[in-house]
Amino acid sequence: MESLVHVVTFLPPLIAAMPLTLFLTVTGVVFGLLMGTATAVAMVYGRRAVAWPAKAFTFAFRGTPLLVQLYLIYYGLGQVLPGTFIRHSFLWPYLRDGLWYAVFALTLNQAAYNAEVIRGAILAVPKGQIEAAISVGMRPFTILRRITLPQALRLCLPVLTSDVIILLKSTSLASTITIMEMMGTARMLQRQSLLIFEPLIAAGLLYFAVVVVLTRVMAVVERRLTLYRQPARPQQG
């Protein structure tokens, strides 16, 4: 019973840290999707000089742990940037904060996974539709914008939803570079209270609640975007 009281007591400070966790998630999702889409297009349609760097990027970031990437970006760039002109530019007040290194690392990692998913979805679009678009005089960019990408994103939406959930839980690694999101706050509460399990249980409950809400929202979005694939209801009469 006492442990339950401690868990409830730890919820308010963890809820206060939730906006930072959601900020890391949303920025990683938005910028990761944009960068991942561009990388996927480069891998599928780009010439060798463009496609190979895109493939190397996805291979490198999908083949190494996110924690390693986070450390390399935070500590590596943190040592390089102070000796450059950026130290005296308007960017330094932002780059001095570990938050933006976490955003950068999460975005690159998410973009690499999104690129592979979207690449496969682009290749899954029926070729007959592309040939029909060419036959009516559509330009390649118009075909990509109006036919290929919209269908590809619909096809891979369930996988992208899973990647968003994984990214949400991966934001907990940002606590290793002094970011006080939910996991960072839970570790601070551990040190202050000398309790190990209760702060982690409280944080786990909040992560679970966010995942449940996110799953429901994405299920509604997926249902609305894939109405054409749902069987028609029989008419009564």
Q: Of 91 and 39, which is predicted with more confidence?
A: 39
Task: Quote the pLDDT of residue 94.
Answer: 66
Nearest Cα to 123, choosing from 58, 48, 44?
44
Mean pLDDT of the 155-172 span: 91
Task: Quote the pLDDT of residue 53.
Answer: 93
Mean pLDDT of the 146-172 span: 90
Task: Quote the pLDDT of residue 173.
Answer: 92
Output the DSSP codes for 3-15.
HHHHHHHHHHHHH
Mean pLDDT of the 9-28 span: 93
H or E stretch at 20: helix 2-45
Q: Of 117 and 73, which is predicted with more confidence?
A: 117
Residue 113's pLDDT band (boundaries 50, 70, 90)?
very high
Residue with tokens 């939730």: 18
CA dist., res. 193 & res. 230, Å (int): 52
pLDDT surpasses 90 at 8: no
Instruction: Determine the Cα angle at 202 with ends 201 and 206, to 5°.
Output: 115
Task: Quote the pLDDT of residue 87.
Answer: 63
Residue 81's pLDDT band (boundaries 50, 70, 90)?
low
Task: Quote the pLDDT of residue 154.
Answer: 86
Token pair listed for 127:
């070729």
Asked if 219 and 165 touch (Cβ cutoff 8 Å), the reply is: no
CA dist., res. 75 & res. 5, Å (int): 39
Domains in the chain, start-ordered, CATH in brackets?
2-228 (1.10.3720.10)
Residue 137's pLDDT band (boundaries 50, 70, 90)?
confident
Of the candidate ranges 1-5, 76-80, 210-214, 217-221, the one whose mean pLDDT is the lowest? 76-80
Of the candidate ranges 36-45, 82-91, 193-202, the one whose mean pLDDT is the lowest? 82-91
What phi-psi label fits residue 122: left (phi over 0), alpha (psi between -120 and 50 degrees) or beta? alpha
Mean pLDDT of the 202-225 span: 89
Residue 32 makes CB contacts below 8 A (sequence gap 6+) with 106, 107, 108, 109, 110, 111, 113, 114, 167
**Angle subtended by helix axes 48-62 and 2-45, to nearest 10:** 160
Residue count of the chain: 237
Per-residue burial over 3-38, b if 16 or more Cβ lie within 10 Å, else e, is eeebbeebeebbeebbebbbebbebbbebbbebbbe
pLDDT surpasses 80 at 80: no
CA dist., res. 31 & res. 87, Å (int): 25
**Angle subtended by helix axes 98-124 and 2-45, to nearest 10:** 50
